[in-house]
Amino acid sequence: MPKVQPSRLLTYIASTFAITLWGMSYIWTDKLIGLGIPIFYFVFVRILLAGLVLFLFNTAYGRIKRIQRQDLPKYLLLAFFEPFIYFICETFGLKLTGSPTLSALVIATIPIFSIGAGMLFFKEKINIVNIIGILFSLIGIVMVAMAKGELGEKFIWGVVLLLIAVIAEVGHASITKSLSGNYSSQIIVMYQFLIGSIYLFPLFLWKGTAGFDASIYFSPEVWYPLICLAILCSSLAFSLWVSTIKNLGVAKSSIFSALIPVAAAIIAWVLGHEMLNSRQWIGIGISTVGVILSQYTFKKR
């Protein structure tokens, strides 16, 4: 196997760190839902805080760059795909299916759609080893995600919402790739979240503030996971992810996002929230091998 370049190695480390943070996000999100906090409340606050943190960061380091006029439609569409469509459809999709297994399997189809987008729009090349690696990863994800769980009464609508989230993620990655040549990752994510918070604001006013109780909504139990989601899982993780898409492309980067359910399972095991059986550990191993194969590039003679 060819030697991994230092820059490529840093990209792999960044992408692994990003999906680890997103794996943690399931735990913090579940905690907020368990506290009875409306989805439109904590999603809006999370996105707005993430955008403001990146704005302050870019301002402090003199990295603010205005959106060029020809790129404004791309930014508007980028924010519409994610965070607006993706976060809403994923969160409600998970809630309606009532099955972590089914939800994880639907989200894990992202690489299948991303391969087509990468080849169609960016002429990215995928070899047979990459395809085998993606198949290995999907098999491993199935083994990890398979768990006992009952389907909710509205699980069909949940599946539909999750599929919409998958398509939105592919659209987000494709537009990010087209913008990454002219803007830094922090600038792209900053505008993405600030515009996304504008999209989410009407829903925040309509449903997010229903039954508002300051003693609960402003309590440390609510704001600790909110700040973690905003700074770690949004500002930091998405900035790392934009650099991953820029360096690896739409198709190859997508396989890492499909491993989020695996990362979530491992983190839940480490924190004692869930026990992993032998089948799931084998699945983790197969997924790891699949990721390695999916990134393989043949050397030219």
Q: Answer yes or no: is 141 within a domain.
A: no
Domain around 194:
6-127+149-250
Q: Answer yes or no: is 267 within a domain.
A: no
DSSP code per residue over the chain: -PPPPHHHHHHHHHHHHHHHHHHHHHHHHHHHHHTT--HHHHHHHHHHHHHHHHHHHHHHTT---PPPGGGHHHHHHHHIIIIIIHHHHHHHHHHHH--HHHHHHHHTTHHHHHHHHHHHHH-----HHHHHHHHHHHHHHHHHH----PPPTTHHHHHHHHHHHHHHHHHHHHHHHHHTTTS-HHHHHHHHHHHHHHHHHHHIIIIITTT--HHHHTSHHHHHHHHIIIIIIIIIHHHHHHHHHHHH-HHHHHHHHTTHHHHHHHHHHHTTS----HHHHHHHHHHHHHHHHHT--PPP-
Is pLDDT of 179 > 60?
A: yes
Lowest mean pLDDT among 25-29, 154-158, 202-206: 154-158
Quote the pLDDT of residue 174. 86
120-163 per-position pLDDT tens digit: 666 667 778 778 877 887 787 677 666 545 555 676 787 788 88
Quote the pLDDT of residue 31. 86
Q: Answer yes or no: is 242 within a domain.
A: yes
Q: Answer yes or no: is 169 within a domain.
A: yes
Quote the pLDDT of residue 100. 53
Q: Answer yes or no: is 132 within a domain.
A: no
Q: Per the structure block, which two tokens stand in for 179?
A: 């913008």
Q: Answer yes or no: is 289 within a domain.
A: no
| Percent of all residues in the chain with a pLDDT value above 90, rounded to a whole number | 29
Count the domains in the chain. Answer: 1
